[in-house]
Amino acid sequence: MEKTYAAFAGERLLAAGELEAVLTKVKHKLDKDGIEQLLIFEEQTGRQADFDWSGTLEEVLERELPKPALQGPGRPKLGVVSREISLLPAHWAWLEEQPNGISAALRRLVDEASKRDPDKQRARKAREATGRFMTALAGDRPNFEEAMRALYAGERDKVESLTQRWPKSIRAQIERMMGWA
């Protein structure tokens, strides 16, 4: 799934969507007017993203857009990524006994776990991402703590009621990230 981003100047939404479009709009705004309190969020995680805005738009895009994966060890055509993991000796012993090797056993375990209740997993991820966003942009707003509790309890109507006096752009971003829009 393609990552999407939302850029805010204070409480005002500047741009939302794919990274290239957001970077382009923000860079134009920075060059034209400057921006105080610029915050950019990765919408899938709610984490803030930082970018180097120096240079021309072309230089920013060249530097900040993801590069295609380089051919290296593993199976790049399949998108295989090599990383290190730490397990207890008993876990390694169990994995070594599995058919088709340790990597295949781990892939099977991950596939099985990810198929269990995907809607519940998606909802949890959306709540966590939205909570991060709300903390960054609305942590000092009235009813923030109650709104966060309602968010994690899945009480949409209560979240909407408690955030009614918040800026429209922040409320709209909450709805967008939760899939309520």
pLDDT, tens digit (0-9, with 9 covering 90-100), for 15-53: 999 999 999 999 999 999 988 899 999 999 999 999 999
Q: Map out the domains of the chain as residue ranges.
A: 4-64, 76-115, 118-178
pLDDT tens profile 90-133: 999 899 999 988 988 998 999 888 888 888 889 999 999 999 99
Query: Angle of helix 118-138 relative to helix 144-153, nearest 10 degrees?
Result: 170
* The model's pTM: 0.78
Residues 6 or more apart whose CB falls under 8 angstroms from that of 170 comprise: 11, 134, 137, 138, 141, 163
What pLDDT shows up at residue 69? 60
Query: Angle of helix 89-96 relative to helix 102-115, nearest 10 degrees?
Result: 100
Q: Is the pLDDT of residue 82 over 90?
A: no
Round to whole Å and give the CA distance between 102 and 100: 7
What pLDDT shows up at residue 181? 77
**Residue 44, helix vs strand vs coil:** coil
Nearest to 35 by CA among 15, 55, 5: 15
What percent of the chain lies above the pLDDT cut of 90? 75
Q: Is the pLDDT of residue 81 over 80?
A: no
